[in-house]
Structure 1
Amino acid sequence: MSTSPHIEIAGRKIGADQPPYVICELSGNHNGSLHRALAMIDAAAATGCDAIKIQTYTADTITLDVDRPEFRITGGLWDGRSLHELYQEAQTPYEWHAALFARAAERGVTLFSSPFDETAVDLLGGLGAPAYKIASFEAVDLPLIRYAAAKGKPLIISTGMANLAEIEAARAAALDGGAAGVVLLHCVSSYPADLADANVRTVADMATRFDSPVGLSDHTHGSAASVAAIAMGASVIEKHFTLARADGGPDAAFSLEPAEFTSLVRDCKDAWTALGRAHYDLLGSERANRQFRRSLYITADVRAGEPLTRANVRSVRPGNGLPPAHLDEVLGRPAARDLARGEPLAWDMLA
């Protein structure tokens, strides 16, 4: 029986011996429209994802409306924008949450969120959120982690920018605070992240260091990093989603469209299935083809008493004769009877 660590979210068991848990991150790609946010839940549910995630904050709970250089972004997708301005655009209003949770329930898909302060944790708790996601930038906010953990639900923690000591501190705060298990997601907090920076081998390393399920929060273009992470032992994949990149949105540039996300879900689950187990046994599906392996056959007529040579015996398909490993043993041996071209070689055919 597997001893790999597990958690459960809404009755779904998550661990290395389970199919990957794929989270569809809506983020701020609703573009300020509740109608679009609801349509995104419909489209996300149709991809076959295991869960949909939103973000719960206001511009004022996540930052300050202050005109200082450190409150302004330099470089990347959001170059020149103030934090408050960006979050004002990207926030999912608190008054939308009940409708979003209701729509996800109607579609039969799990919905939870990333809280960014205690008011967000309380709101989500009141809506019955089955888990909490701690974003990379909040992984060092141990009071927030402890507050969310006290709700007794699992916590999924992204580890972008965090060193090993910070990851362990966040995990310990969650477990000591009462969380029903922790998942740690390797993450590169760059938007978008370059494939060369993805370093998904970190997923496998995290699995050896921490007694928790591990996964990947993927900000790269495409799905290659996510599928590679499955091969490295990822139990959870999180990827951003949009109805159409052309529609714009804070995270649209590195988000997958519905058809792409459907492929991501399929490819991740297929990759996990393909991993199987390490073994060297003959599979049932191979058994019928075993007869077509190579073996020793008579390739020219041989009279009784004549020796076998490379001119009249060699390794060919199918596999009804002696194994090719015996070729040197049979060369030079006389035929016990007349041998016809096309006969599989057997020991009783040799004198």
Structure 2
Amino acid sequence: MRELEIAGRRIADGTGAYVIAEIGHNHEGVLEKAEELFRQAAAAGAHAAKLQKRDNRTLFTKAMYDQPYEGRNSFGPTYGKHREALEFGRDEYLHLAGVAKEVGIDFFSTAFDIPSVDFLMELDMPAIKIASADLTNTPLLSYAAKTGKTLIVSTGGGTMDEVRRACDTILNINTDLALLQCTAVYPAAPADLNLSVIETFRREYPEVVVGFSGHDLGCEASYIAYTLGARVIEKHFTLDQSRPGSDHHFSLDPPQLAELTSGLERIRQSLGSPGKIRADNEASAISKMGKKLVAARDLPSGHLLTEQDIACKSPGDGLKPYRLEEILGRRLLTPMLQDDGFSLDLLDTKPGGEAVLTATGSHEH
């Protein structure tokens, strides 16, 4: 069965979307700003707030760590210093875990390296996110899978063979996996999204929850993703899209995140059940606009019914038109006035003694 749990929340084909507010480093290294992002994400209806965790000294080569990094989006003179300025440690994570518990939102993080997996495990995070860039990092995938935590894996920039290799690596160890279609373009245009891949993932992995990590602008693609079967929806989240930083400009702000969560719930309700039924609240409209079989004109007792004697008219509170053949060729046992509805007890029987229909003003419901 295609389902998993994160912090006690069940995610399956029959549930609503599990919405992750990807804060990343949009807190800009300021704990108070991160706390406000958590509170706003919860108020907007998100189920989880997510950060990113890196062990920067071991993650980057010395040359990359020390390379100059200047410009509007920089928080330090080198790329390494920039990353360190945005990194939270144990104290900040513990504080934010308390905030998440207070406001009723799940809290976990992306692990970019093995030391970060260990860091998140020490805090007993309910899930671990793996970024698109690590889809081919089978040592990290294997290490994270062995924690037993739910893994949420993005697939941006990957090929189907790379997705298969990643899934094989994880599923041989841990079946609690959410596989997210993603495009590593920031922001992604509609033509970049390839949402049909969601259906491909669902066909190839019938036991795996599938989702969408969107770098697109707005909510529309997430709505389409849900209708295609995505049950985890991840969107970047900010308090101010104009702030410096590489992610703010394509992130949702609080009103947009609220629209996303409410819109996804509307879509869940709209999709409803795959079984075609007549709902109770359809009955009055069907009765008013539907048709029943009635006498086309005044008819005497003993009359042999032909097509010219029978009409289909509204309201549809009587014998349905598909019963026409059961009436034709039978004789009336009582007179009928024009527009009287046919019923089952006042028609003569056909040769052979079959039960037949009759004509009165009574109605079949």
Q: Unpaired segments of 5 or more residues in structure 2?
A: 344-356, 361-365
Q: Shift of residue 42 of structure 1?
A: 0.7
| Cα distance between partner residues in 2 of 1:339 and 1:87 | 90
Q: Shift of residue 328 of structure 1?
A: 8.3
Q: 1:25 to 1:309 in 2, by over 3 A?
A: same
Aligned to 2:149: 153
Q: Shift of residue 203 of structure 1?
A: 1.0
Q: Shift of residue 87 of structure 1?
A: 5.7
Is 1:202 matched with 2:212? no
Aligned to 2:11: 14
Structural mapping, 1:96-245, within 5 Å = 96-176=92-172, 178-179=173-174, 181-210=176-205, 211-245=207-241
SS of the residue corresponding to residue 246 of structure 1 reads: coil
| Cα distance between partner residues in 2 of 1:296 and 1:205 | 49
| Cα distance between partner residues in 2 of 1:67 and 1:235 | 37
| Cα distance between partner residues in 2 of 1:151 and 1:11 | 17
Is 1:264 matched with 2:274? no
| Cα distance between partner residues in 1 of 2:148 and 2:324 | 69
Contact 2:107 2:125 survives alignment (8 Å): yes
Contact 2:145 2:174 survives alignment (8 Å): yes
| Cα distance between partner residues in 2 of 1:110 and 1:55 | 15
Aligned to 2:358: 348
**How many percent identity over aligned positions?**
32
Q: Shift of residue 336 of structure 1?
A: 6.9
Aligned to 2:2: 5
| Cα distance between partner residues in 2 of 1:46 and 1:59 | 32
| Cα distance between partner residues in 2 of 1:202 and 1:164 | 10
Q: Shift of residue 182 of structure 1?
A: 1.3
Contact 1:57 1:120 survives alignment (8 Å): yes
**Aligned AA (2:249):** A
Contact 1:29 1:90 survives alignment (8 Å): no
| Cα distance between partner residues in 1 of 2:199 and 2:104 | 32
Q: Normalized against structure 1, the TM-score is what?
A: 0.82
Q: 1:280 to 1:90 in 2, by over 3 A?
A: farther
Q: Normalized against structure 2, the TM-score is what?
A: 0.79
Is 1:318 matched with 2:315? yes
Is 1:84 matched with 2:102? no
